[in-house]
Amino acid sequence: MYELILASKSPRRRELLLELGYPVIFADILVDEHLEGEYAPEAVAEAIARKKASAFDAETLRNNQILVTADTVVICNNQVMGKPHNREEAISALKLLSNQWHNVCTGVCLVSRNAQKSFTETTRVHFKTLSDEEVLHYVEKFEPYDKAGSYGIQEWIGLIGIDRIEGCYYNVMGLPTSRLYQELQSLGQ
């Protein structure tokens, strides 16, 4: 069985990866997530995941280790929404998502000593119409500044606001666990 090295500060990704049952080591990689050049909105998360992976020295990996990096973005009206920088951006993002379908794209990069592969998983999510009071309550109480699109599906706003989802729930949390498991299994063959 592979030992995974998760290079992510996300507590949600850490929890999800542990739940898959692999031995996990956690590593911090500091990377400027700004991308140079033009990318289709659906390609941004995977490009950032690959950029994070390139900051890790793959030669230090043992034969049974795989580096896992990931990034998640929300796309609404063809606009890429990352993490909000402040309260105003969080409020604005949630108001944009209100009564809208949007895509949550998580890009994942897997690196072993001899190979690298990456993929993107997309989940469609719909919020009901969110009142100003609901948006303000969520931003004030939950401070969603570390979440793409300014929300966590597993938090209060997801519980009361998301009325439809097409695709992987865990992808919206930041790690497409089913697809990741399949990709890891294919590496072992």
Cβ–Cβ < 8 Å for 73, 81: yes
Backbone angles phi, psi at 104, to 5 degrees: -110, 115
Catalytic one of 28, 57, 71, 146: 71
Cβ–Cβ < 8 Å for 143, 104: no
Closest-CA residue to 24 (of 182, 184, 189, 187): 184
CA 147 to chain centre: 8
Assess whether 57 carries a catalytic annotation.
no
CA–CA separation, 11 vs 28, rounded Å?
12
CA–CA separation, 32 vs 48, rounded Å?
9
Tokens of 183: 């990709």
Catalytic amino acids?
71
